[in-house]
Amino acid sequence: MAEAGAGLSREAPERPDRFGGESRQLTKGIIGGNMKKRSGLFVLFACFAIILGACGGGGGGTPPPAQLSLSVLATSLPDATVNVPYYQTTAISASGGTPPYQYSCSAPKASGLSASITSSDPATGNATCAIGGTPVAAGAAAISISVSDARGASASAGTSSVAITPSPDPLDNWHWRNPLPKGNTLNGVAYGNGIYVAVGDNGSIVTSPDSTIWTLRNSGITASLHGVTYGNGIFVAVGDDGNVVTSPDSVTWTSRSAGTSTLNGISYGNGIFVAAGDNGAISTSSDGVIWTSRNSGTTASLRAAAYGTGTFVVMGVDIILTSANGITWTSASTTISINWSGVMYGNGIFVAGGYFGCNHFTCEGFATSPDGITWTPSSLPAYQPPGLGFGMSYGNGTFVIMGGGRLATSSDGIAWSLQWASGTEDFGANAVAYGNGTFVAVTNAGMIKTSPDGTAWTSRISGTTDNLNRVAYGNGTFVAVGISDASGATGVILASPDAVTWKSSLTGISGGLHGVTYGNGTFVAVGGIPYIAGGVILTSPDGATWTPRNSGTSNNLNGVAYGNGIFVAVGNSDVNGVILTSTDGVAWSQRNSTESVGLYDVTFGDGMFVAVGNSDAAGVILTSPDGVTWTSRNSANSAVLTGVACGNGTFVSAGWSDTGATIISSDDGVTWTSRKSDSAIVAFNGVTYGNGTFLTVGYSGSMLTSSDGVTWTSRNSGTAGIFLAGATYGRGTFVVVGESGTIIQSDPVQ
């Protein structure tokens, strides 16, 4: 951004020379006119009058406005990006002139940005200009800032600008569509200045003024954030590799650094932020900006931090550390050997919780301390089902510890009530905070729940969190299918005209859904659960109304495709691969695969059906010109092949093996070549083709693209930690679905 221009000024006009010109001539004439007796008195009077005039005394004329100058304190603004929402503020300050001051700031409408004064103090000369919007074209947006005073003097800061960079590759810029506000795991939550802030994986930040309506914010980083707190007028969040982000208002975030170690917890007290993390890392800061590494005296992983009674307490693996100033740390006295995962302070007492081994199960342990130094095991039963000890907070006279559908509450931190929590079934809280009369708990899949009393909880996210397996596009509609996360035995179907707004279609069908396709004016979804409800087939003309069909099999169906006037569904049984065909999606016929295999996906291209799967020894590929007669092909690898697609004369299949994620390709469906094996990715699951590009997705948000099926490029899906299961292309964009209801959509692909 360009530097703000120097302040312009309105100065007084030049005054006539009071001691020259006509004044000098007049004086000379008087002295020369035989009036010498009174010359001394006259000269004294004349000089006195002239001096008064020169000094501005004795009235006569309006003095010009005093000099007015304007300076912009923030002389640069961060760059903006085309099609990415932007919001920043800059402080301005006027000096000189006569208060009160009036301000204005503006941006060209054509840029997609707007600017306005959001706060001002006419008496002191301080104001704030906010610049926001969604840029529509690369270049620079001029920001004009000016001020005027009570006497009409004005000044300008010149022209500042926001540099607008081109939109990133659309396949690197993905948008959350479900669940909302975002589906990444949330690891930490805090309350301050009337705002709740939750942080999580992939730099996720969501905020709320009331704990009910949450808004996604841009952290500016992709590193996962693990903890957040509020103090000294700012929010501070910490995460992977020493990443820190700060914000004065929870809206605009600035990236900072506190070293290279991953930081897991943070607390504020006595004017100091203390962050703790892996390898015994402890860093402190007075402002959240400049951080100093401290010697903890341990290399143990430190997980949580709290402040109370003038003492910082940091918890980790079999260790508790305390400090009065955040600089010098001492190991606390405890005989409890626990992997401490959380600590809180309230009502004059510290409460900590964690895990330890117990009869081949994970057990919870709890302890309390009045000073953070001497700890006593709590009265909570020593063995409880897994889940407690992660999320904990104190508020309104109540301690709350929750996780895994379990809840413990206490009024004193010593005597606890253990119970199932209403609204928290299968809810493994990662963090809990209290503020403004409300507890807020956050966990995986972006789930947020709130409670006024710590006992009854209400979900605050919108959209399904059921696992989605595949997605298809046809006739202007996207359809995603999956399996209910709650029951594990009910099919789930979502439909959308634009991939932005999704509507659930309740099927009432037992059996999860694993595949979906569109052809001949009909959507066909297939699925089933082995030994419970197999052979599920549903059809729909519009993605909204679905009709069950008789598949003629009780076996599980995993994939379905349409081509050459035929639907082909594939699956697995205890003996052979399962293949069904239909001309209309209604009446189905069984075909013989002749292979002792499991088939997981099928596609059609270049006049050929290709089905993929695995046997005990190798990846399996079957081909057929008509869906009736099938031929086994050599996959040239031992991978489990779970996805296949065809585009531009090339077939691509993806899956996984003992050595990691696998991609193979073929120009004819007959001869296949291994293209990529990546142990870091672990597994691919779904493949699709659209607009000249293959896209494959899989484990932990992994995503790769290729124009030819040979050379592949890794993409940032923004879904780290989430299993992506299927993808499709439609309406100029790619749409990907996955676990916990994840639906993401790319920018338009040109």
**Residues in the chain, total:** 750
Contacts of range 662-667, beta carbons closer than 8 Å, 24 or more positions apart: 662/619, 662/637, 663/696, 663/704, 663/709, 663/712, 664/619, 664/635, 664/636, 664/637, 664/639, 665/709, 665/710
33-37, 151-155, 229-233, 356-360: which range is least confident on average?
33-37
**What is the β-pairing status of strands 522-529 and 513-519?**
antiparallel
Three-state DSSP state, 36: helix
Averaging pLDDT over each range in 89-98, 218-227, 570-579, which range is the top one? 218-227
**Which two structure tokens, joined as six digits, stand for 620?**
């399996």
Domains in the chain, start-ordered, CATH in brackets? 1-13+24-167 (2.60.40.10), 184-459 (2.120.10.80), 520-719 (2.120.10.80)
Per-residue confidence at 49, pLDDT binned at 50, 70, 90? Answer: very low
Per-residue confidence at 524, pLDDT binned at 50, 70, 90? Answer: very high
DSSP 669-697: SSS-EEEEEETTT--EEEEEEETTEEEEE
Angle at 689 (CA atoms; ends 513, 619), nearest 5 degrees = 65
User: What's the pLDDT at 59?
Assistant: 46
How confident is the prediction for the chain on average, in pLDDT?
84
Q: List, for residues 659-705, the tens digit of each pLDDT value.
A: 889 999 999 999 999 998 887 888 999 999 999 999 999 999 999 99
Per-residue confidence at 58, pLDDT binned at 50, 70, 90? Answer: very low
The residue-averaged pLDDT of 329-349 equals: 85
31-40, 218-227, 272-281, 344-353: which range is least confident on average?
31-40
The residue-averaged pLDDT of 501-516 equals: 87
Q: List, for residues 487-502, the tens digit of each pLDDT value.
A: 567 899 999 999 999 9
The residue-averaged pLDDT of 168-190 equals: 92
Interatomic CA distance for residues 401 and 418, integer angstroms: 9
Interatomic CA distance for residues 17 and 232, integer angstroms: 58
Q: List, for residues 223-262, the tens digit of each pLDDT value.
A: 999 999 999 999 999 999 999 999 999 998 999 999 889 9
Q: Are 116 and 138 in contact (CB under 8 A)?
A: no
